Amino acid sequence: MTFTLAILGRPNVGKSTLFNRLIGKRQALVSPEPGLTRDRREGQARLYDLEFTIIDTAGLEEAARDALETRMRAQSEKALAEADIALLLIDARSGVTPIDKHFADLMRRSKTPVILVANKCEGAAAEAGLAEAYTLGLGAPVALSAEHGLGLADLHEELEARLKELGLVGADEMGDADDAWASEGEEEEADEAEAEPGILQLAIVGRPNVGKSTMVNRLLGEERVLTGPEAGITRDAISIAWSYKDQPIKLIDTAGLRRRARIDAALEKLSTGDTLRAVKFAQVVVLVVDAEMPMEKQDLSIAAHVIDEGRALVIAINKWDACADRQAALGKVRDRLERSLPQVRGIPLVTVSALRGQNMERLLDAVLGAYEVWNRRVPTPALNRWLAEATQAHPPPAPGGRRIKLRYMTQASARPPTFAIFCSRPKDLPDSYLRYLENGLREAFDLPGTPIRMNLRKSDNPYAPKKKR
């Protein structure tokens, strides 16, 4: 049995804190400053014996029709319509506000059953707010503290009752909550470095206002994340399950990355950290650049960071339909990549228009190709035949008159391709010779654009006396 639960409420009442508590890890950004969450975020949650999909939403606010807050509210209302049950969170310490009353009326008129939750109920300061919550006309509030994990058993009991009313579960399906897993008082940190098997983790990154969220919406075929003329709308990384050509994909929209010297606000520091974390746990990263200002210094910094993290990189040159001099723009991108990232030759470049939907399939095909190369393994016999030919064509240097011998090579791992070379004096082999080997590997085994890692290991001298054990 599974169901969908949406969390709604005005800004800064603890929606993201409760979301993190129920999914068992810190996924949504949390800050004392209100309005951090803007897009709706989904996760798989568990509360005792109940397993369900949970949706975190932006804070409900009244605003002008064309304002960003209105678009945020539309996302929250869509989550309310899609959910089986909704939670309306209020801050018990602040009491009931006019905004709480307004949105309680709105949610009462929806077809989705609503449970009133009074958060931040720890301490005597919350008692007046708990009593006042009855005036919202949504029944008795469930008192809890998302931050401290208090009151989750009461929330579980209320959810069970609503599920029975909806016919989503029968009494015989209910487990024993005392013996089941409970999240109360504990927060489980998942190891996100181990991606879900078979699912491609795809992060969309770039500078602010280059069209990342527009691209995500175009790929999904719906207005899933907020877009608009304002720069910096996206604040936290939003993961969306999707598929392309039978390949399951976790698509991650991220906040724009500016130069470190320009990052001042605490919220922007949180957003930047969340984006960098998304890159760290991605497998393929699409760097979106503006065709009118392609491969600026910040673009190159982002690309270098992706390569340093060992992720496969695809560059999408967006707003191509508005580019006046296309040949010059493409030449600029290639020239800057050649000069700034010579260690990664063959990075796929795709010109697109996210707004018009041009070349989206070409972009995704490039992503799948980069993913295949990133996962590629080369047989050890083929590697050693190539190594012998490479060293014969261009022998290693001989510092001090003693030539460095490269004896053996194997692929230690993929994701990204990582090779171990056993040689006589690894510390004396210059970087220039390693680059020669790396470029030869790319050409011989068709490894364009992906990071390649080469580890030198000292091989034993077969003529040296063996050490006694």
Which CATH number characterizes residue 425's domain? 3.30.300.20
List, as one string, the DSSP characters of 22-69. Answer: HHTS--S---SSS----S-EEEEEEETTEEEEEEE-PPP----TTSHH
Res 375: pLDDT: 95
CA–CA dist 56, 41 (Å, integer): 5
Question: Which of 370, 462, 386, 460 has the alpha carbon at shortest distance from 419?
Answer: 386
R_g of the chain, CA atoms, integer Å: 27
395 and 453, same domain (yes or no) = yes
Res 118: pLDDT: 92
12 and 50, same domain (yes or no) = yes
User: pTM for this structure?
Assistant: 0.71
How is residue 71 written in tokens?
Answer: 């678009």
Could you say which of 336, 353, 374 is where a domain stops? 374
Contact 418, 411 (CB under 8 A): yes
Res 194: pLDDT: 45
Res 263: pLDDT: 45
396 and 330, same domain (yes or no) = no
Splitting the chain (469 residues) into consecutive groups of 10 residues, what average pLDDT does each group show?
A: 87 88 70 56 89 84 54 76 92 89 87 92 82 90 90 93 81 45 40 64 92 91 70 67 93 78 55 82 95 90 93 96 92 91 90 95 97 95 96 89 90 94 91 92 93 88 54
Could you say which of 374, 402, 427 is where a domain stops? 374
Adjacency order of strands within the sheet including 200-206: 238-244, 247-253, 200-206, 284-290, 312-318, 349-351
223 and 363, same domain (yes or no) = yes
Res 303: pLDDT: 93
Structural domain for 308, as ranges? 200-374
* Residue 189 falls inside a structural domain: no
List, as one string, the DSSP characters of 189-208. Answer: ---TTSPPTT-EEEEEEEST
What domain count does the chain have? Answer: 3
Give residue-wise pLDDT tens across range 129-181.
888 999 998 999 999 998 888 899 999 999 999 999 888 765 445 544 444 33
* Residue 236 falls inside a structural domain: yes
Could you say which of 316, 351, 374 is where a domain stops? 374
* Residue 89 falls inside a structural domain: yes
* Residue 468 falls inside a structural domain: no
* Residue 193 falls inside a structural domain: no
Give the number of residues written for the chain. 469
Res 178: pLDDT: 44
In the DSSP assignment, the letter for residue 262 is G
Point out which residues pair with 421 in neighbouring strands: 409, 456
332 and 285, same domain (yes or no) = yes
364 and 422, same domain (yes or no) = no
Contact 258, 288 (CB under 8 A): no
Q: List, in order, residues 6 or more apart from 340 with CB less than 8 Å away.
A: 300, 303, 304
* Residue 67 falls inside a structural domain: yes
